[in-house]
A and B are shown apart, each in its own frame.
Chain A
Amino acid sequence: MGKLQIMDTGSKSQPAETLHGGYAAAPYSLIEVHGQDAERFLNSQTTSDVKALKTFQSQKSALLDRKAKVVAYFTLYRKNKSYRIVCQSTQTQTILENLDKYVFSDKVEFLDLSAGRMLAVIGADARVLINENLTAEKNLALFDRDLIDGELANIDVHIFKAHLSCSEAFLIYCGADRFDELQAKLKPSLERYKLKRMSEDDLKVERIEAGVAQFGQDFDGANLIIELGMEDSAISYTKGCFQGQEVLARVKSHGSPNKQLAGLILEPSGQVACGTPLMVAGHEAAQVLSNGYSTKLGKQIALALVKRDFRTPGRILEASAGSWSGTATVQLLPFIQNLDQKQKRENFIKVPCSSTPPVVPNKP
């Protein structure tokens, strides 16, 4: 199986070879966007450069209000001339209402597919597992795409690469009536690749390790998107106007926001309630967000909105947060770096899984 590159956090981490991954029903939802003006419309409403998005690829994106506060955050996928929005289930109606509010003369339609279910499959072997269960086309080149439509174990699915973990992760969408059947049919493969069923807490730790903040838990409509470390992935400063763009440009020209998403390693380990201020010598240095114990790192890790004066990677803060007190070490996110695609691809070809899955030849 593939290996994870674990950043040196000063702890004795678990060997990467023992990491497998898992699967879980994931609280994500799907919206399809159709119509001859879909590209222009989405480009005008979202923070990302939709016109630059290539078919079968994805980009992080968001809807903002005029003050650049986050209304919704999601991943946008393109399939030819239509688009798909994969978002947290709790954001579906907000996204639909906000997009629909600005449809005037544009020819664009939204299809709410939130009645379906999403299965998250996470781990270095996830693509191997999915590939061998594809009913028709089995081809490694498919995984160069962020979006695959097809049949998995004879069930119609949409497969989305998703940023849920420091390992490669996929969200598999299917109709709710076939969701249990899909899991049952995938079960032999899931067991063979040692992917365990993940709990909500497991999923939370996976995304903390990957530095992924979640709307409604780590941030909300009071946050600027630029505070959330999404500047490189979700914002285009060159594509033209969108709501909130003037404020973003102003903040960018001033350097950096007062507070910004970063990682904290908390020692000793202890759960801190999300939103608790981290106090250093009587001053609020940060706000602790999602946190949990990472078995990969052997540490309690937290996402945090850290104020500018304390935002130095490696800085050790003598701090307290609620009933917890100890040292908080400031970290750049993600806590764990993923392998690049090329390396993953090489592993896929050359390194067989210890449980030796059937080899699926590439199409010539």
Chain B
Amino acid sequence: MADTTTAPTSTTIVGLTEVAAAEVKRILVDEQGKTGLRMEIKGGGCSGMSYGMSFDNAQEKDHVVEAHGVKLFIDPKSAIYLKGTVLDFQSGLEGQGFVIKNPQAKSSCGCGNSFSV
């Protein structure tokens, strides 16, 4: 299927593909009281920084990105390290899942769960 990406801009910080948005919407239906997806950076992992994703509502000072009918919430500090990131969803013979493509990540650990900038 043809995919379109909402590329991040200076104001949107994070972009997501149409496929990823469809998957978020599909799961969000079951998350009562939650209005969007929170993307965040947490300390941890072999490389020092790791990604976090959860369904949530907008908090004060959050950056709110809307794309393909999905709201993304990003706190200000995480936004620094997520700038330029595209959230995709890929499926294949080896499995399926969300893929975070962060141009700021200079290295990552063996398991791919953490990165450093």
Chain A contact residues, CB within 8 Å of chain B: 40-41, 43-45, 66, 102-106, 241-246
Residue of A nearest to B114 (CB): A241
Tell me if A102 and B49 are in contact (CB < 8 A): yes
Which of the 9-residue segments B9-17, B27-35, B36-44, B89-97 touches chain A? B36-44
Tell me if A105 and B78 are in contact (CB < 8 A): yes
Tell me if A102 and B48 are in contact (CB < 8 A): yes
Tell me if B40 and A243 are in contact (CB < 8 A): no
Q: A44-B43, A45-B44 are in contact. Are A105 and B110 (CB under 8 A)?
A: no
Q: A66-B116, A104-B77 are in contact. Are A44 and B44 (CB under 8 A)?
A: yes
Q: A66-B116, A241-B114, A243-B48 are in contact. Are A102 and B109 (CB under 8 A)?
A: no
CA distance A56 to B44 in the complex (A): 25
CA distance A241 to B111 in the complex (A): 9
Tell me if B75 and A105 are in contact (CB < 8 A): yes
CA distance A40 to B50 in the complex (A): 12
Query: Mind listing 21 A-B residue pairs with CB under 8 Å?
Result: A40-B42, A41-B43, A44-B43, A44-B45, A44-B50, A66-B47, A66-B48, A102-B43, A102-B48, A102-B49, A104-B41, A104-B42, A104-B43, A105-B40, A241-B46, A241-B50, A241-B111, A241-B114, A242-B44, A243-B45, A243-B46
Tell me if A106 and B42 are in contact (CB < 8 A): yes
Report, nearest first, the 10 A-B pairs whose CB atoms are least far apart: A44-B44, A102-B43, A105-B40, A104-B41, A241-B45, A241-B46, A104-B77, A246-B46, A105-B78, A105-B75
Tell me if A105 and B46 are in contact (CB < 8 A): no
Chain B interface residue count: which class? 20 to 34
Known: A102-B43, A102-B48, A246-B109. 9 other contacts (CB 8 A): A40-B44, A41-B42, A43-B44, A104-B41, A104-B77, A105-B41, A241-B111, A246-B46, A246-B110
Residues in A with CB closer than 8 Å to B110 are: 246
B55 contacts the other chain (Cβ, under 8 Å)? no
Residues in B with CB closer than 8 Å to A244 are: 46
Tell me if B46 and A245 are in contact (CB < 8 A): yes
B103 contacts the other chain (Cβ, under 8 Å)? no
Residue of B nearest to A103 (CB): B43
CA distance A198 to B71 in the complex (A): 63
CA distance A244 to B109 in the complex (A): 10
**A130: min CB distance to chain B, Å:** 36
Tell me if B52 and A102 are in contact (CB < 8 A): no
Q: A45-B43, A246-B46 are in contact. Are A105 and B52 (CB under 8 A)?
A: yes
**B113: min CB distance to chain A, Å:** 6
Residues in B with CB closer than 8 Å to A41 are: 42-44
**B22: min CB distance to chain A, Å:** 26
Residues in B with CB closer than 8 Å to A40 are: 42, 44
**A213: min CB distance to chain B, Å:** 25
Residues in B with CB closer than 8 Å to A242 are: 44-46
Residues in A with CB closer than 8 Å to B45 are: 44, 241-243
Residues in A with CB closer than 8 Å to B81 are: 104
Most chain B beta-carbon contacts within 10 A, residue among A45, A104, A242, A245: A104
Residues in B with CB closer than 8 Å to A105 are: 40-42, 52, 75, 77-78
Residue of A nearest to B80 (CB): A104
Most chain B beta-carbon contacts within 10 A, residue among A105, A242, A246: A105
Residues in A with CB closer than 8 Å to B41 are: 104-105
**A187: min CB distance to chain B, Å:** 45
Residue of A nearest to B110 (CB): A246
Residue of A nearest to B77 (CB): A104
**A165: min CB distance to chain B, Å:** 34
Most chain A beta-carbon contacts within 10 A, residue among B48, B109, B113: B48
Residues in B with CB closer than 8 Å to A66 are: 46-48, 116
CA distance A69 to B43 in the complex (A): 18
CA distance A105 to B74 in the complex (A): 9
**A55: min CB distance to chain B, Å:** 23
CA distance A8 to B50 in the complex (A): 50
**A193: min CB distance to chain B, Å:** 45
Residues in B with CB closer than 8 Å to A104 are: 40-43, 49, 75, 77-78, 81
Tell me if B109 and A241 are in contact (CB < 8 A): yes
Residues in A with CB closer than 8 Å to B109 are: 241, 246
Residues in A with CB closer than 8 Å to B75 are: 104-105
